[in-house]
Chain A
Amino acid sequence: MNILYIEDDQEIGQWVEKKLREEGYHTHWLTSGYQLPVDLQTYGVVVLDVMLPGLDGFSVGRRIKRQNPNLPVIMLSARTSIEDKLEGLEFADDYMTKPFHPEELLKRIEVQVRKYEKAPEKTISIGHLSVRLDQQVVVDQSSNREIMLTGKQFSIFHFFIRHLNQILTKEQLYEGVWGEPYREGDKSLMVHIRHLREKIERNPSTPEIIETIRGIGYRVRA
């Protein structure tokens, strides 16, 4: 896989390029974002520094995303303020701050690659389930039988899949699925999740797919 890496600092650049190469990635390292390669679509991931001479990393990242919306971009920056992170995450897929551990960078590249590689087939495996997002079909792989979900149940499940491994608060889930502000004390989300678990979990009393994170919300792990 090809990785486009843009970093102006020579020492860090050499180090990261070496690490990526060792991991088996073909790395194209640039020291500025002025001359992007024309064959951007051939790259699997872009790793981008923010403070570049001249054109800054945010502008370069936006330009890349405009040309190739499906190309994952990881920002790698010494700017740690929340404003910078928010600005970066508006278009980028991930934001890492320096000084970073190379292992973490490799792990994050892997996550992005996995996310985008799986996208074309649109089939995701979660525990004993296999989910075809385009056809809205959930199949129990152990019995190979389709699980019928109601529209709302599928919306909730789909929201979990879009935010795999993330802990979602009650508010985030409710507002993401229902599209209206969550009111404290509303039990409808809990009821829907209970019904969803009855259908997808092997044993709804000890759920394996939809984890409850006590006091915070829920999580579905890949």
Chain B
Amino acid sequence: MKRSKKTEEAVFKILSGFATYSLIVILAFIIIVVFVKGFNALTWEMVVKTPKGGYYYGGEGGVLNAIMGSLYIAFGATIIAIIIGMPSALYLNVYLLRHKKTQNTIRYILDALWGIPSIVYGAFGFTLMLYLGLNASLLAGILTVALLITPIIVRTFDEVLSTIPKGLHEATLALGSTRTEMAFKVMLKQGFSGFITAVLLAFGRGIGDAASVLFTAGYTDLIPVNIDEPAATLPLAIFFQLGSPIPEVRERAYAAGAILTIIILTVSLTARLFSRQYSKSNIN
């Protein structure tokens, strides 16, 4: 290899390596800052108790209301998004296979929906809520977040399905499979790990978004027991506490941030383990 080629190789290797490792450093830095700043407030009480009187002025209690509210909203919205998103992605790649123009138009619309800021979804959800005569509630929060994350699930899963070789489609159909059998028995299995990634991305976006639930889910110190009751969420708990002039309350904001991070990492890890196990036993 010529010297110039060797230099080119070395420079690109260093630059790409630097870019990759700097991302890991940034992620580690964010996590460290959140955990260090919230360390003193990160107690067991914080996780298992709801806010008591004067909590937002440094009083007793925790953010169980926001943890439960976030989980209810994120899981509810993710389930709705899967129910709508999975068949949509399959439809795009199975039934619209012959219709490239329609396929591209739908993809363009989904990309636009993905790009719309979450506050716009929040405003839309709020308008819809008023129109339907609903109050700020768990249901309104779930529906708004579902709208926000459905395009993420569809497009991410769609990208995975579109990489499945046409030869596999032909081989499956040549056996006498119907398109529906091909979609659910072959393509879903082939793209399962991509589907898990899509769900994780959507869940992460859903549980971490504040703007979409600001007007729609409301905020309460109680854990909702019905879907028509308001629900607190962790992003809003962070938002409200971080603006406090009291240092102990601001520490609690970071602690809530750490809890949110732990939830996302736990769900992500569990889903990946499940996906790997599923792949071992079924997919390949």
Tell me whether A and B are bound partners: no
